[in-house]
Amino acid sequence: MALRPDEFYDHALSAADQEHRLPLARMTGWSISPFEAEGLRVSPLRPPVLPEPPRHGEDPSDCDSCREREEGIWFNDAWRLTWIKGVGVPLVLMLHPLDHYDMADLPDELAAELGVLSAHIVRHVQALPHISRAHVYRIGDGGAHLHIWFFARPEGQTQLYGSWMPVWDDLLPEYPADVADADAATVADALVTSIGGRRAAAAGGC
């Protein structure tokens, strides 16, 4: 059984200083870290918040993803794919079920579709010129409606390896929207060819 919230907090504080600051993570010493360790400080560890605040869209009637189910670059009967604008890496896409599910309550048939769809999206993102890898993320702390992130890592940018890439994405200048729009359309067209569904009339639409 996992530690209770108070037990977890006390356990974590055993490694902290008098200000409740933990040591710098090993990740800050990696060559791909966007930050130099000198001068960095860990924020004080705050005590647990119970009950946890609700995520956005816990109530389906107040869920943006449900309201925006007609927006996207690709659709089938159960899923939609959107292009996220204003990012720093070449392309960020997000896959959503049309109906209001989170990962834990996704019906088995949709869970199976999620695996196949994710593989196709990764395949088509990585087929884009000058893209080396498609990173796939599911977090779930911010929104109750399932959303899967796909980040395109630019070719040759080895500092963007691994788990630091979303941080680098936040630091980089905004990627040219016209280039990303064209690449999003390419992925959407490739999905129609490889797995069916339909592409939106215009690729923009997050």
pLDDT band at residue 203 under the 50/70/90 scheme: very low
Ranges of H-type helices in 80-140 = 108-126
Nearest to 205 by CA among 81, 68, 72: 72
Q: What pLDDT digit, counting tens, does each position of 76-110 carry?
A: 999 999 999 999 999 999 999 999 999 999 999 99
Q: How far apart are CA 90 and CA 184, in angstroms?
A: 10
Residue 92: in which H helix or E strand, if any? strand 91-97
pLDDT band at residue 202 under the 50/70/90 scheme: low
What is the dihedral sign for C-alpha 70, 75, 79, 83? negative
pTM over 0.85: yes
Q: What pLDDT digit, counting tens, does each position of 106-158 carry?
A: 999 999 999 999 999 999 999 999 999 999 999 999 999 999 999 999 999 99
75-112 b/e (C-beta count within 10 Å ≥ 16 → b) = bbebbbbbbbeebbbbbbbbbbbbbbbbeeebeeebee
Write down the pLDDT at residue 204.
47
| Angle of helix 108-126 versus helix 177-195 axis, rounded to 10 | 130
Write down the pLDDT at residue 98.
98
Q: How far apart are CA 202 and CA 175, in angstroms?
A: 19
Q: What pLDDT digit, counting tens, does each position of 142-200 carry?
A: 999 999 999 999 999 999 999 999 999 999 999 999 999 999 999 999 999 999 999 98
Write down the pLDDT at residue 91.
98
Q: Which residues contact 127 (CB under 8 A, 6 or more apart)?
A: 190
Mean pLDDT score, 10-21: 96
Q: How far apart are CA 137 and CA 141, in angstroms?
A: 12
| Residue 50, both tokens | 């119970």
